[in-house]
Structure formats: structure tokens, C-alpha cells
Amino acid sequence: MKVVWENKGGLGDDKEVPHLVYISREKRPKYLHHYKTGAMNFLLRVSGLMTNAPYMLNVDCDMYVNEPDVVRQAMCVFLQNSKNSNHCAFVQFPQNFYDSCTNELAVLQSYLGRGVAGIQGPFYIGSGCFHTRRVMYGLSSDDIEDNGNLSSVATREFLAEDSLVKRYGSSKELVQSVVDALQRKSNPQKSLENLIEEAQQVGHCHYEYQTSWGNFGWLYDSVAEDINTSIGIHLRGWTSSFISPDPPAFVGSTPSLGLEAIVQQRRWSTGAIEVLFNQQSPLSGMFRRKIKFRQRLAYFWALMCIRSIPELVYCLLPAYCLLHNSALFPKGPCLGIIVTLLGMHCLYSLWQFMRLGFSVKSWYVAQSIWRIIATGSWLFSIQDIILKLLGISKIGFIVAKKTMPDKPTQGEDDGPKSDLRKFEFDSSHHFIPGTFILFVNLAALAIFFVGQQRSSCSHGGGGSGLAEACGCILVIMLFLPFLKGLFEHGKYGIPFSTLSKAVFLTVLFVVVSLGI
């Protein structure tokens, strides 16, 4: 821990530089670190000793502040003169990326973020978020009076000496800072150098044992600490606010389009499914009154990464029907209804993209990438959860590596991005499902068009036809990066080991479908 710069001049001088403290968290093999969540709780304790500021900004290391007025914008929400001003727990800004190859996240934040903001507030998404310290110390909305002070019940529950030590640990300085924060008392100016020893004490990896850390602050029991903590805050009755300024408040970098993006999505989806089985689950929240019903539905939608199994089935169904000579779609007017509904859905999602200024190509890339993610990283996250529930293995925090492309020049990051990067491959097993899906649909089309399937089918008009063939073509179009990977070399080509495994699975699928 090192005090790089200490602001001894106090507030009021626009030219005065704030405190700047470098902190490195202690880690030991025999102690749980709780990954990013443990680091955030460590920062929460140390900042409580150093400044005890009532508001905190969380920004990931791969993002930067793009709007200098962002703090004022958040404070306008926290400090507004309204009856419910004390009920806002955090202010979330959307995540924007200067090197994004797909704009699906921007569209989701624009529509879903604003929609959920009208219920009980947006989700905490891990970065670009202002938090209130009192809420992170475990207060519920019922613990606050209309004037912002602690209620009598909360005073007895939180400020009792035994309760403070049990909740927050044995550090007297930290306990005193918690009491001051809960009571909204200003923190007297102290020399930061004098607090380093105490800050190192609360930073020891064994400090949290026999305390309640992890049940408040940033919550444990999931590698998706953001969604887990967000549900915990809303379950306690708090609201949140969504601000989407122009230009964007925070801009960052994304992983390369390939393994790193898939690994990141696997961690997110695994953590989301973990939430379904812990204390913050929307399922158990159905019996709590402090979170609104529609807010529970919104969280349940965000956690439904298990839809990877239906997506995988949908990608294989047209090929299976062609090979088995069975009808997937109804004939006659019913087929027209299905095509109409599918067309309306595609046009609506395309309208969402174009309304935000994105191109048709960007929409197509987004549909392709998210089908690849759903049948790849999300599928393996279900495997991770099953192994965890069976006690076979634990879930680890896999860090996604990110490249550092040239940052855009002034004005380039003001609009939609046109740089759609190429998909990268390696020998990872994450690419086997996508390659397998591509081969199965190509094989089904080949067998269908050369007439091998028709020659072995029984007489009758109930078999597969052009509709199922169009379904296979649609799947191939969605997995176009894998088709291109068959003809590329180096990191843009699919390795032989992945191809061989996918071919084996394809032959097995074709044999089973044909009934040979």
C-alpha cells in the first residue's frame, strides 16, 4: 500500500488533485480470495478508512472515463430533493466499447436498460457504476427514515457493539468509519500515512473470517459478482438509476473475437446460473415483497443462459429432419404463419439496430456471434454448474485476455463502429460445437440435394422438403465464421484437431439420423 499523492489542501480548489493511493491485495494459497468480489470488498474497507466518502465509483481497468462531467451527473441523482432520493442505491452508466465487433450489447442496454430502469432500476453490470457506501454496508430501504437517518430498529441492529464486530471485523478504526458512514457523519481530515498500518490489517486475507463480509458489500457465491450483488441490493428494497449520456460516460476495450470472447461469456453465464441456486435467486425472491414482480422477471430473463440447450436443438433440428425425412414445419397456411412471425421478429430486431444508427451488417454479425456464444460458451457453463452441484469440481474465475488496438481518434468514437473484426480460432474445445453444427447442416443439405435421402424414404407426402432445407441454410449463414474458418489459415482457420472431432460427431449424428 502506497500513498502516491495526498490532498492536504482539502476541498474547494479546482486545481487540487484528489488523493491517489495504490493498493495491492494480499493473497495466500490456503485462503479464498473471492476473485473480483473479494478485491472490491477489500477496496470498500480500505477506502472507508482513508476517506469514508459516501459515494464510490467502480470502473474496470480496461475502461476509461470519456465524459468529464460524469460525477456531477451521478450526484444529481443521489442528491436530488425528492422523497425517494434516499432510496437510490446506485447509478449505472451503460458500457460502450471503441473496438466492439458486435453491437448487440449496446442495443440490449439501450432497450432493456431503459425498460428495467422504469421498474425498480437497472442492473449493476460491473463497471461504470456509482455506489452508495451505506447500502454496501448492508442497509435495507426500510432501515432509512424519510429524512435519511437510521430508523430506531436499524440503530439497535447495526450500531450495537457486538453486531459491529461480528459484521465488519475487529478493526476499531474500520468499525468507527462504518458507524460514521451509517450515521452520515463527515470524515475528519487525517493524514493518510497514519492509516496505512490499519489499512493493511483490514487487507489481510484472513480478516474476513468470522465476519459477515460477502453477505453485504459485493456478494460472494458467484463469479458474476455484478448481477449477484445487484439482485441482493434490489431484494433489500432499494432502487437504482440509469443514465445514458451523449457522449458516452465510459468507454472500454473488448476481448478479441474468438476464444477470449467465448471464455468471457462462459464466465458470465456460469456466474449467472450460479445465482439461480444461491440466496439471491429470483426464484426465492418471488416470496419477498421488497423486489417488484416485474423486476424479478427481468432478472430471470437475464439469468436464463440455460437456453443454450434449446438453441443447440434448434440448430440441429432442420438437419435431423432432412436426414430422417420427417417434417419440421407444417404445410400450407400454417407454414406461412410461421414464416411471417419469424420475418416480423427479424425485422423488429433489425429496426432496433438501425434506430440506434447501426448497419444491417452489424445486425447480422450480432445475430451470428450470439448464436455461436449460445451454443458454445453458454453450453459449457451448464457443464460447469452440473460438475459443481455434483461436487466434482469447483468453478474458477477465468480472466479473458484483451488486445489493445489503437484507440480511436477524436470524433471516431461518437458513432457506431464499422470495424468488424475477423473471428479467431485455436484448438480449444469451445469451437467443437460450432464446427459440429456447421458440418451437420452441410451434410444434411448435401444428402438432400443429391437425392440419397429421398431414394431411401417411404412413399408419402409427409416427409421433409424445401422448408427444412431453408432452415439448414439459415443455420449455416448464422455460423458463417466457421464456414470461412474452413478455408483460412493460421489463427483465422479451424485447427485440424477441432475438425477431426467435429467430423467424428457429425458422422455419428448422420448415422443415428438415417437409422443405419
Sequence-separated (6 or more) residues with CB below 8 Å from residue 70: 93, 245, 249, 250
Query: 419 a known binding residue?
Result: no
Q: Is 341 exposed, middle or buried (0-12, 13-18, 19+ CB in 10 A)?
A: exposed
Neighbours of 147 (CB within 10 A): 6
Facing residues of 144 across strands? 150
Buried b (16+ CB within 10 A) or exposed e, 229-262: bbbbbbbbbbbbbbbbeeebbbbbbbbbbbbbbb
Provide the strand spans (E) within 124-249: 129-132, 239-242
- What span, in angstroms and rounded, lies between the C-alpha atoms of 477 and 446? 16
Sequence-separated (6 or more) residues with CB below 8 Å from residue 451: none
Query: 413 a known binding residue?
Result: no
Of the candidates 310, 476, 426, 439, which has an alpha carbon nearest to the alpha carbon of residue 379?
310
Sequence-separated (6 or more) residues with CB below 8 Å from residue 487: 493
- What span, in angstroms and rounded, lies between the C-alpha atoms of 403 and 85? 41
Contact 343, 351 (CB under 8 A): no
**SS3 (DSSP) at 484:** helix
Fill in the amino acid letter for 418. Answer: S
Q: Which residues are annotated as a binding site for Mn(2+)?
A: 36, 60
Please give the annotated binding residues, written as ranges. Answer: 36, 60
